[in-house]
């Protein structure tokens, strides 16, 4: 599944909640994807203000990875830091869990609403809706009242399958970067 974006990606923000107790939660899949990306390319996480940051190189392309440490509903607070680095919203890819997709569906799109996702809503408050998103399907509980608990629960799916989907997400990000390198 190759996706084309108009703007080159200079930063990837993985959404999640800080702390070990949240790491396996559905809501933290963004953290897990950027962790896998950092690991694949030897990135070292450093604490900076209200986030963890790692810089990696894929080919000749520098990529800034960010994990907000503010809890989900304050994720947008990292955007001024990226702006100071010369990275505009249209050059950002946000990796997040997606209730509207069945488990395992992964799709990239540019722009759109928050669709009830508090992390996206926070980023939109800071920079508007014009940024790319990698949406990682986690499914949805049948009872709408259960959504809050559902996203904060650990995955019940097979760990190997989740790891494979995380790798697939990293491969997709690499593909997005390669498309722009070929055009330069």
User: What is the number of alpha carbons within 13 Å of residue 86 lying toward its C-beta?
Assistant: 2
CA–CA gap between residue 47 and residue 102 (Å, rounded): 34
**Which are the contacts of 115, defined by CB distance < 8 A and separation ≥ 6?**
98, 99, 100
For all residues of the chain together, what is the average pLDDT?
93
Can you give the pLDDT at residue 102?
A: 96
What is the pLDDT at residue 50? 96
Whether the pLDDT of residue 44 is over 80: the answer is: yes
Tell whether 139 is covered by a domain: yes
Mapped onto helix, strand or coil, the DSSP state of residue 159 is: helix
Residue 30 included in any domain? yes
Using alpha carbons, list the distances in angstroms from residue 2 to 27, 156, 162, 173. 25, 28, 20, 10
Within a domain: 127: yes
184 pLDDT band, cuts 50/70/90, is very low
DSSP codes of every residue in 129-153: S-SEEEEEE----SSGGGHHHHHTS
Answer yes or no: 27 catalytic: yes
Structure token pair of residue 106:
């992964």
* CATH for 129: 3.40.50.1470
- The answer to whether 177 and 94 are in contact (CB under 8 A) is no
Give the pLDDT of residue 107: 96
Say if CB 10 and CB 173 are below 8 A apart: no
pLDDT at 141 over 70: yes
**Does the residue 3 lie in any domain?**
no
Number of domains composing the chain: 1
């Amino acid at each position: 599944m190759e996706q084309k974006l108009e703007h080159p990606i200079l930063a990837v923000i993985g959404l999640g909640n800080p702390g070990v107790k949240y790491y396996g939660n559905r809501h933290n899949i963004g953290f897990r994807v950027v962790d896998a990306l950092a690991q694949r390319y030897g990135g070292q996480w450093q604490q900076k203000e209200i986030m963890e940051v790692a810089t990696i190189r894929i080919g000749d392309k520098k990529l800034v990875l960010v994990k907000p440490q503010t809890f989900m509903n304050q994720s947008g607070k990292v955007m001024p830091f990226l702006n100071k680095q010369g990275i505009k919203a249209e050059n950002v890819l946000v990796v997040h869990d997606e209730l509207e997709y069945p488990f395992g569906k992964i799709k990239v799109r540019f722009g759109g609403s928050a669709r009830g996702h508090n992390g996206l809503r926070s980023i939109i408050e800071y920079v508007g809706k014009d940024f790319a998103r990698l949406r990682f399907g986690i499914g949805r509980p049948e009872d709408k009242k259960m959504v809050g608990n559902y996203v904060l629960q650990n995955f019940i799916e097979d760990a190997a399958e989740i790891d494979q989907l995380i790798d697939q997400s990293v491969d997709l990000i690499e593909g997005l970067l390669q498309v722009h390198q070929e055009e330069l």
